[in-house]
């Protein structure tokens, strides 16, 4: 008998992760592969997190603390909020998923924009929720009035998803845009639409006019902030992220969360890395140096790029190199360098480059410059 699949699952295009190092080594018989494809911390995990994780292994036969008490306490202190305003997730991806499951019915809608982080659309579609995608200009900026118009006219809009800065573009919206947005939202259906602001890359931000998460939270009561330990804290493999919002928003989400969604090892690893401020500073500095390196390199090669506030940079490779983003990606793979094509976001000309260590950046830049027209193939 044919199994029945809901149309929204049948038509779902799953998330496309960065190509793994081991797979590339096998495929191309390479000894060393450099992965600049998933916006990970090239320094690895914090040494303090590694120590804490080693210790926690002794208790792997026990279930984790389902409430995440200690990590939540540490986060509450770090952020100046109540523990009851925090929800922990198996990566912030899970928090996105829980938010949609908690507040949307199939047939409802969310708003985001073209070129936004893909999980908003995917997590929504999984639950039969439609996505309204705003158009963006050539600098990936969406229009506040257009957003408010959609929020006002589509009664079924329950959540607005915006990343600041955005992945894969690295672009951001300013405090004045956020003010305009929150003012407008508070006048629509009693301020009941949830504003989900994704700050996965906040620790890397250098722009002074990018509103900080605490400020963002204070402007509009139904705001939720997503944060993660996958980026500057170097724990992408451990899967820990969290959401911060009002007690009411979190209370409902906690009912939907699976009881042991964050592992015991992840809980202690995240707590230790939160306390390792030296490691965070070092990572931030390395990233700033790496971003400057890539800006200079891309400028030298005549490859346009979008200034980034994250730990990655989006390069418009097609015109300068004469090949599409996926083609450049494949050519670099053969040389042992993994970048990230973003054709699946609707941008076949672009390639996203995560910032690596200084050595990794140099090797990767060499692979890229080897593809410039007029260069001899090696
Ligand atoms: C904007 C943004 N949000 C959320 C995530 C998900 O992070 P995680 O689930 O690892 O916490 C990512 C990962 O790349 C991201 O770029």
Distance CA 200, CA 118 (A): 14
Q: Which residues contact 328 (CB under 8 A, 6 or more apart)?
A: 317, 318, 321, 339, 341, 351, 368, 371
Identify the band that residue 378 occupies on the pLDDT scale cut at 50, 70 and 90: very low
Helix runs in 104-212, H state only = 119-126, 144-153, 175-186
Q: Is 234 in the pocket of ligand 1 (CB under 6 A)?
A: no
Q: Find out whether the beta carbon of 164 lies less than 6 Å from any atom of ligand 1.
A: no
* Residue 169 Cβ contacting ligand 1 at under 6 Å: no
pLDDT band at 16 (very low <50, low <70, confident <90, very high): confident
The helix (H) or strand (E) run that includes residue 10 is helix 7-10
Minimum-distance ligand 1 atom for the alpha carbon of 310: 16
228 lines ligand 1 (CB under 6 A): yes
* Ligand 1 center from residue 281 Cα (angstroms): 20
Q: Cβ(24) to ligand 1 under 6 A?
A: no
DSSP letter string, 315-350: EEHHHHHTS-HHHHHHHHHHTTEE-EE-GGGT-TTE
Taking the C-alpha atoms of residue 248 and residue 200, their distance in angstroms, rounded to an integer, is 23
Least confident range from 22-36, 44-58, 140-154, 346-360: namely: 22-36
Ligand 1 close to Cβ of residue 200 (< 6 A)? yes
Q: What's the angle, vertex CA 231, arms to CA 122 and CA 327, rounded to 5?
A: 65
Would the CB of 118 count as within 6 Å of ligand 1? Answer: no
DSSP state of 187: T
Model confidence over 248-258: pLDDT tens digits? 999 999 999 99
Residue-wise burial string across 192-206, b where 16 or more C-beta atoms lie within 10 A, e elsewhere:
ebbbbbbbbbbbbbe
What distance in Å separates the CA atoms of residue 156 and residue 250, rounded to the nearest whole number? 21
Ligand 1 centre distance from Cα of residue 119 (Å): 8
Q: Can you give the three-state secondary structure of 63-120, one letter per residue? A: CCCCCCHHHHHHHHHHHCCCHHHEEEECCHHHHHHHHHHHHCCCCCEEEEECCCCCHH
Higher pLDDT: 302 or 1? It is 302
Q: Is the CB of 112 under 6 A from ligand 1?
A: no
Q: Which two tokens stand for residue 302?
A: 């005549």
List C-alpha distances in Å: 335 to 274, 289, 356, 361: 36, 24, 16, 14
- Contact between residue 178 and residue 139 where contact means Cβ atoms under 8 Å apart: no
CA of 41 to the centre of ligand 1 (A): 13
CB 27 within 8 A of CB 335: no
**Does the C-beta of 90 come closer than 6 Å to ligand 1?**
no
Identify whether the C-beta of residue 151 lies closer than 8 Å to the C-beta of residue 160: yes
**Nearest to residue 265, comparing CAs of 40, 55, 20?**
55
Burial of 316-344, coded b for 16+ CB within 10 Å and e otherwise, reads bbbebbebbbbbbbebbbebbbbbbbbee
* CA 344 to ligand 1 centroid distance, Å: 17
263 upstream amide cis, omega within 30 of 0 = no
**Pocket test residue of 228, 269, 344 for ligand 1, highest count of atoms within 8 A of CB:** 228
Protein residue with least CA distance to atom 2, ligand 1: 200
User: How do residues 107-165 score in pLDDT, each as one tens digit?
Assistant: 999 999 999 999 999 999 999 999 999 999 999 999 999 999 999 999 999 999 999 99
Tokens linked to 115: 């070129």
On the question of pLDDT at 377 being above 90, the answer is: no
Judged against a pLDDT cut of 50, whether residue 199 lies above it is answered with: yes
pLDDT of res. 375: 64
pLDDT at position 376: 54
**What does the pLDDT average to over 175-195?**
98
Instruction: Give the number of the atom of ligand 1 that is nearest the alpha carbon of residue 163.
Output: 1
| CA distance linking residue 119 with residue 93, whole number of Å | 7
pLDDT of residue 18: 83
What number does the ligand 1 atom closest to the CA of 241 have? Answer: 11
CA distance 330 to 338: 8
Q: Is the CB of 64 under 6 A from ligand 1?
A: no
- Tell me if the pTM is above 0.75: yes
Give all domains of the chain, ordered by start, each with its CATH number. 7-32+278-369 (3.90.1150.10), 48-276 (3.40.640.10)
CA nearest neighbour of 50 among 286, 260, 265: 265
354 within ligand 1 shell (Cβ under 6 A): no
Q: Is the CB of 124 under 6 A from ligand 1?
A: no
Cα gap 199→248, rounded to integer Å? 21
Peptide bond into 168 cis (omega under 30): yes
User: Does ligand 1 come within 6 angstroms of the Cβ of 171?
Assistant: no
Q: Mean pLDDT, to the nearest integer, of 230-247?
A: 98
């Amino acid at each position: 008998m044919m199994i029945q699949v809901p149309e929204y699952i049948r038509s779902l295009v799953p998330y496309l992760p960065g190509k793994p190092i081991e797979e590339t080594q096998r495929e191309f018989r390479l000894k060393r592969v450099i992965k600049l494809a998933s916006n990970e911390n090239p320094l690895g995990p914090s040494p303090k997190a590694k120590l804490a994780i080693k210790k926690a292994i002794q208790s792997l036969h026990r279930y984790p603390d389902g409430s995440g008490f200690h990590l939540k306490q540490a986060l509450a202190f770090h952020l100046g909020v109540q523990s009851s305003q925090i929800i922990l997730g198996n990566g912030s991806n899970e928090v996105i998923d829980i938010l949609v499951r908690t507040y949307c019915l199939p047939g409802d809608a969310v708003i985001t924009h073209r070129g936004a982080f893909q999980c908003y659309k995917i997590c929504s579609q999984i639950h039969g929720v439609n996505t309204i995608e705003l158009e963006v200009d050539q600098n990936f900026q969406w229009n506040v009035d257009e957003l408010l118009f959609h929020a006002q006219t589509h009664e079924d809009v329950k959540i607005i998803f915006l990343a600041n800065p955005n992945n894969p573009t690295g672009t951001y919206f300013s405090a004045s845009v956020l003010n305009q947005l929150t003012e407008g939202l508070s006048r629509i259906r009693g301020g009941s639409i949830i504003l989900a602001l994704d700050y996965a890359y906040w620790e890397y931000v250098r722009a002074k006019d990018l509103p900080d998460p605490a400020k963002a939270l204070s402007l509009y009561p139904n705001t939720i902030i997503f944060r993660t330990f996958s980026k500057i804290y170097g724990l992408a493999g451990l899967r820990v992220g969290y959401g911060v919002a009002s007690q009411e928003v979190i209370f409902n989400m906690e009912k939907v969360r699976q009881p042991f969604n964050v592992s015991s090892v992840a809980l202690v690893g995240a707590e230790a890395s939160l306390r390792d401020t030296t490691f965070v500073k070092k990572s931030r500095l390395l990233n700033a140096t790496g971003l400057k390196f890539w800006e200079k390199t891309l400028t030298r090669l005549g490859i346009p790029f979008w200034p980034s506030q994250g730990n990655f940079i989006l390069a418009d490779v097609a015109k300068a190199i004469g090949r599409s983003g996926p083609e450049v990606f494949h050519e670099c793979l053969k040389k042992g360098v993994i970048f990230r094509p973003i054709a699946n976001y609707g941008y076949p000309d672009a390639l996203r480059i995560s910032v690596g260590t200084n050595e990794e950046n140099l090797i990767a830049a060499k692979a890229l410059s080897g593809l410039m027209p007029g260069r001899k193939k090696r």
